[in-house]
Structure 1
Amino acid sequence: MLQGIHPLLSGELLKHLDEMGHSDTVFIVDAHFPAARLAHRLVTVPGATSPAVLEAVRSVLPLDDSPAVDLMTSADGTVLDVQRELLAAARVEEGDARFVDRFDFYDAAENAYVIIRAGETRKYGCVVVRKGLVGH
């Protein structure tokens, strides 16, 4: 165990986040998402919500320039509570996020550096963040 590291960040996940380059993507997806089929690198965090996982990731990962966050567009186009929680965890405003069609989101996931499957059971609890530059 390491001091100062969020408890949801496993050694495996930290390794992937560290190896990422500028603009590489992290997909944090809900339990409904076909992560095992699409992921080249898959980490699971069962029992944790997507916003909780994103908050943990953001504790070590700076965001790229706008749009640094993508959310999956809900079926009726409204912004859902889980999506508002994801925006808050990312520390971005709704206007700074991009909303992406579900099937475009799936297509983009095939190129993700890492997919993190949370235990989130709410629909549309999926988010993409892009790694920014680490300050010195």
Structure 2
Amino acid sequence: MLKNIPKIISPELIKTLMEMGHGDELVIGDGNFPAETYGKRVIRCDGHGVPELLDAIMQLFPLDTYTEKPVMLMEVVPGDPVVPTIWNEYKAIINKYEPENCKIDMIERFAFYERAKNAYAVVATGEEAIYANIILKKGVVK
């Protein structure tokens, strides 16, 4: 065991976060996200929601300050009446750790999937909220 690492962060996830370099991207997918289809490295976090994992990851993970919008969300498909209230939780979590870097880009569904193919890793969660997928671009530790 180590001190000051949130207990929700598994050994596999901490190893992956440590391996990632500046500009690498991490996808945290909801329970419906096709993680095994699009992820070159998939870390299973079944039974956990995205907000609790995002909060734990943001304690350790610097966002890229050289990118205008280092956080990306999958936008709602046109015509879908869903209003993802979980996005407000994400903004609050990111703002807690990096208020100056809480800039979010919205990405069309299939463009999001394409981006996920190039991500360093995909974290597969048990999140039940719809449109709860998020991508974080890693920055540098200063």
- Length-normalised TM-score, structure 2: 0.87
Does the 8 Å CA contact 2:84/2:129 hold for their aligned counterparts?
A: no
Query: Following superposition, which runs of at least 4 residues in structure 1 exceed 4 angstroms of deviation?
Result: 76-79
| Contact 1:52/1:89, CA 8 A, preserved across alignment | no
Offset at residue 37 of structure 1 (A): 1.0
Unaligned runs of 5+ in 1: none
Distance 1:82 1:101 in 2: 17
Give the whole-Å Cα distance in 1 for the aligned partners of 2:59 and 2:122. Answer: 17
| Separation of aligned partners in 1, 2:114 and 2:18 | 24
CA distance in 1, matches of 2:40, 2:72: 19
Q: Distance between the aligned counterparts of 1:110 and 1:16, measured in 2?
A: 16
Alpha-carbon deviation of 1:79?
Answer: 5.5
2:64 alignment partner in structure 1: 64
Q: Quote the RMSD (CA, aligned, Å).
A: 1.8
- Is 1:52 the equivalent of 2:56? no
1:82 matched to 2:86: yes
- Per-residue CA deviation, residues 3-29 of structure 1 (Å, 9 max, x unaligned), is 211011111111111111101000001
Q: Which amino acid aligns with 2:56?
A: A
Residues 1:68 and 1:126: Cα distance change in structure 2 (over 3 Å): same
1:80: Cα distance to partner?
A: 1.9
**1:105 matched to which residue of 2?**
112
Q: Which amino acid aligns with 2:38?
A: L
**How much has 1:90 moved relative to structure 2?**
2.0
Number of matched pairs: 134
> What does 1:1-136 align with in structure 2 at a 5 Å threshold?
1-65=1-65, 66-75=68-77, 76=80, 80-91=84-95, 96-135=103-142
1:81–1:24 distance in 2 versus 1, CA, 3 Å = same
Please state whether the residue corresponding to 2:6 is helix, strand or coil: coil
TM-score (norm: length of structure 1): 0.91
The residue matched to 2:140 in structure 1 has which SS?
coil
Contact 2:70–2:104 (8 Å) recurs in 1: yes
Percent same amino acid at aligned positions?
36
Instruction: Say which SS state the counterpart of residue 43 (structure 1) adopts.
Output: strand
Partner Cα separation in structure 1 for residue 11 and residue 103 of structure 2: 31
